[in-house]
Amino acid sequence: MLAIEAGGADMDTDLVNAVFRTMHSIKGAAGFLGFTRIGTLAHGLEELLNELRNRELTPTSEVVTSVLSAADFMKGLIDAVESSNDADVAPFVSALQRFRPGACEADASATTVGPASGSIDASITLTDAVREFLIECRENIDQAERDLVALEEAPDSPALINSIFRAVHTLKGGAGFLGYGVLERLAHAAESMLAAIRGGQRVLTSRITSCLLAAIDKCREGVGLVERSGTDAALGVEGVLRDLRALDETDATTDEPCASREAETPPAVPLPRTAPATRPAAAPAEPIAGEKGSAAVAESTIRVDVCLLDKLMTRVGELVLARNQILQHAGVMEDSAFISTAQRLNLITTELQESVMKTRMRPIGNVWAKFPRVVRDLASQLGKQVRIEMEGKETELDKTIVEAIKDPLTHLVRNSVDHGIETPEARRQAGKPIEGRLFLRAFHEGGQVNIEISDDGAGLNVDRIRRKALERGLISGDQAARMTDREAAQIILLPGFSTAEKVTSVSGRGVGMDVVKTNIECIGGMIDVQSRPGKGTTVKIKIPLTLAIIPALIVTNGGDRYAIPQVSLLELVRLEGEQVTQSIEYVHGAPVYRLRGKLLPLVNLSERLGLTDNGARSTDGSSDAEKVLNIVVLRAADRQFGLIVDRVNDTEEIVVKPLSRHLKNLSEYAGATIMGDGAVALILDVMGLAVASGLATEMRETGLGANSVGEAKSGRTTQTLLVVDLGDSRRFALPTSMVSRLEKVRRSEIELADDREVIQYRGAILPLVRLSDVFGESAGIATDTDDLQVVVYSDEQHRCGLVVRNIVDIVETELKLESSQGSDHNLLGTSVIQQRVTDVVNPRNLARRHSQWSSGALAR
Amino acid sequence: MTRKTRQFCTFHVDGLFLGIDVQQVQEVIRYQAMTRIPLAPGAIRGLINLRGQIVTALDLRCRLGLPPRDAEQPPMNVVLRDGESSVSLLVDRIGDVVEVGDELFEPPPATIGTSARDLIHGCYKLESRLLLALDTKRVVELTAA
- CB contact (8 A) between residue A662 and residue B35: no
Question: In terms of domains, do A406 and A555 share one?
Answer: no
Q: Which residue of B has its CA nearest to A715?
A: B39
Q: Which of A662, A684, A693 to mutate to test the interface with B (most CBs of B within 10 A)?
A: A662
Q: Which residue of A has its CA nearest to B85?
A: A660
In a domain, B101, yes or no: yes
Other C-beta atoms lying within 10 Å of the C-beta of residue A524: 21
Residue A676 near chain B (CB below 8 Å): no
Q: Quote the number of domains for chain A.
A: 6
pLDDT tens per residue across span B108-135: 887 777 767 778 888 888 888 888 888 8
pLDDT band at A564 (very low <50, low <70, confident <90, very high): very high
Closest CA to A411 of A453, A381, A469, A442: A453
Q: What is the pLDDT of residue A38?
A: 61
pLDDT band at A7 (very low <50, low <70, confident <90, very high): very low
Q: Please tell me the distance from the alpha carbon of residue B54 to that of residue A679, in angstroms, as a whole number.
A: 10
| 3-state SS assignment for residue A452 | strand
The domain boundary, picked from A256, A282, A302, lies at A302
CA of B100 to nearest chain A CA: how many angstroms apart?
32
Q: Which residue of A has its CA nearest to B139?
A: A662
Residues from B contacting A (CB-CB < 8 Å) are 33-41, 44, 46-49, 51-56, 58, 82, 85, 87, 140, 142
- CB contact (8 A) between residue A680 and residue B49: yes
- CB contact (8 A) between residue B35 and residue A321: no
Residue A233, phi then psi, degrees to nearest 5: -60, -30
Other C-beta atoms lying within 10 Å of the C-beta of residue A716: 11
Q: Give this complex's ipTM.
A: 0.86
CATH number for the domain that contains residue A754: 2.40.50.180
Q: Which residue of A has its CA nearest to B39?
A: A609
Question: In terms of domains, do A217 and A76 share one?
Answer: no
Closest CA to B145 of B58, B30, B46: B58
Half-sphere exposure for A400 (CA within 13 Å, toward CB) = 13
Contact between residue B35 and residue B46 where contact means Cβ atoms under 8 Å apart: yes
pLDDT band at A276 (very low <50, low <70, confident <90, very high): very low
CA of A679 to nearest chain B CA: how many angstroms apart?
7
Q: Which residue of A has its CA nearest to B81?
A: A660
pLDDT band at A51 (very low <50, low <70, confident <90, very high): low
In a domain, A492, yes or no: yes
Q: When comparing pLDDT for A620 and A570, which is higher? A: A570
- CB contact (8 A) between residue B38 and residue A611: yes
The domain boundary, picked from A647, A671, A692, lies at A692
Q: What is the pLDDT of residue A22?
A: 67
Q: Residue A551: pLDDT above 70?
A: yes
CA of A719 to nearest chain B CA: how many angstroms apart?
13
Instruction: Calculate mean pLDDT across residues A473-481.
Output: 73
In a domain, A129, yes or no: yes
Q: Residue A478: pLDDT above 90?
A: no
In a domain, B92, yes or no: yes
Q: Which residue of A has its CA nearest to B88?
A: A660
Q: Residue A562: pLDDT above 90?
A: yes
Q: When comparing pLDDT for A714 and A333, which is higher? A: A333
In a domain, A113, yes or no: no
Q: Which residue of B has its CA nearest to A678?
A: B49
Q: Which residues of A touch B85 (CB under 8 A)?
A: 660-661
- CB contact (8 A) between residue A610 and residue B87: no
Q: Which residues of A touch B36 (CB under 8 A)?
A: 560
Q: Please tell me the distance from the alpha carbon of residue B103 to that of residue A572, in angstroms, as a whole number.
A: 66
Q: Which residues of B touch A678 (CB under 8 A)?
A: 49
Question: In terms of domains, do A518 and A383 share one?
Answer: yes
CA of B138 to nearest chain A CA: how many angstroms apart?
13
Q: Which of B32, B35, B82, B88 to mutate to test the interface with A (most CBs of A within 10 A)?
A: B35
In a domain, A114, yes or no: no
In a domain, B111, yes or no: yes
Q: What is the pLDDT of residue A305?
A: 80
Question: In terms of domains, do A179 and A72 share one?
Answer: no
Q: Residue A451: pLDDT above 50?
A: yes
Q: Residue A13: pLDDT above 70?
A: no
CATH number for the domain that contains residue A324: 1.10.287
Residue A821, phi then psi, degrees to nearest 5: -65, -40
Residue A794, beta-bridge partner list:
A799
Q: Which of A561, A606, A661 to mutate to test the interface with B (most CBs of B within 10 A)?
A: A661
Q: Which residues contact B69 (CB under 8 A, 6 or more apart)?
A: B14, B61, B75, B92
Q: Which of B29, B34, B36, B37 to mutate to test the interface with A (most CBs of A within 10 A)?
A: B37
Q: What is the extent of the structural domain holding A734?
A: 700-854
Q: Which residues of B touch A669 (CB under 8 A)?
A: 37
Q: When comparing pLDDT for A214 and A763, which is higher? A: A214
- CB contact (8 A) between residue B87 and residue A660: yes
Q: Which of B32, B45, B47 to mutate to test the interface with A (most CBs of A within 10 A)?
A: B47
- CB contact (8 A) between residue B85 and residue A669: no
In percent, the amount of chain A with pLDDT more than 90 equals 2
In a domain, B145, yes or no: no
Question: In terms of domains, do A327 and A425 share one?
Answer: no
Instruction: Calculate mean pLDDT across residues A748-761.
Output: 78
Residue A325 near chain B (CB below 8 Å): no
Nearest Cβ partner of A610 from B38, B53, B55?
B38
* Total beta-carbon pairs less than 8 A apart between chain A and chain B: 69
Q: Residue A261: pLDDT above 50?
A: no
Q: Quote the number of domains for chain B.
A: 1
CATH number for the domain that contains residue A296: 1.20.120.160
Question: In terms of domains, do A808 and A669 share one?
Answer: no
Question: In terms of domains, do A736 and A845 share one?
Answer: yes
Question: In terms of domains, do A334 and A432 share one?
Answer: no
pLDDT band at A682 (very low <50, low <70, confident <90, very high): very high
CATH number for the domain that contains residue A670: 2.30.30.40
Q: Please tell me the distance from the alpha carbon of residue A622 to that of residue A604, in angstroms, as a whole number.
A: 14
Q: Is the dihedral of CA A365, A370, A376, A381 positive or negative?
A: negative
Q: What is the pLDDT of residue A665?
A: 75
pLDDT tens per residue across span A381-423: 888 888 888 888 888 888 878 888 888 888 888 888 887 888 8
CATH number for the domain that contains residue B65: 2.40.50.180
Q: Which residue of A has its CA nearest to B47?
A: A680
CA of B80 to nearest chain A CA: how many angstroms apart?
13
User: Among residues 573-612 of chain A, which lie with CB inside 8 Å of chain B?
Assistant: 609-611
Q: What is the extent of the structural domain holding B96?
A: 5-137
pLDDT tens per residue across span A97-146: 554 443 333 333 333 333 333 333 333 345 666 777 777 777 777 777 77
Q: Please tell me the distance from the alpha carbon of residue A627 to that of residue A326, in angstroms, as a whole number.
A: 38
The domain boundary, picked from A255, A284, A302, lies at A302
Question: In terms of domains, do A166 and A35 share one?
Answer: no
Q: Which residue of A has its CA nearest to B55?
A: A660
Q: Which residues of A touch B46 (CB under 8 A)?
A: 680
| 3-state SS assignment for residue A274 | helix
In a domain, B144, yes or no: no
Mean per-residue pLDDT of chain B: 84
Q: Residue A614: pLDDT above 70?
A: no
Question: In terms of domains, do A221 and A296 share one?
Answer: yes
In a domain, A117, yes or no: no
Judged by average pLDDT, the poorest of A345-349, A620-624, B60-64 is A620-624
Question: In terms of domains, do A183 and A326 share one?
Answer: no
Q: Which residue of B has its CA nearest to A658?
A: B54
Nearest Cβ partner of B52 from A314, A659, A682?
A314
CA of B85 to nearest chain A CA: how many angstroms apart?
7
- CB contact (8 A) between residue B35 and residue A659: no
Question: In terms of domains, do A265 and A403 share one?
Answer: no
Q: What is the pLDDT of residue A62?
A: 59
pLDDT band at A14 (very low <50, low <70, confident <90, very high): low
Q: What is the pLDDT of residue A12?
A: 53
Instruction: Calculate mean pLDDT across residues A521-526.
Output: 76
C-alpha distances in Å from residue A232, one per residue of A117, A123, A182, A259, A479: 15, 9, 6, 17, 59
Q: Which residue of A has its CA nearest to B86?
A: A660
Q: Which residues of B touch A679 (CB under 8 A)?
A: 33, 35, 49
User: Among residues 611-640 of chain A, which lie with CB inside 8 Å of chain B?
Assistant: 611
Q: What is the pLDDT of residue A45?
A: 67
CA of A318 to nearest chain B CA: how many angstroms apart?
5
First-to-last C-alpha distance (Å) of chain B: 44
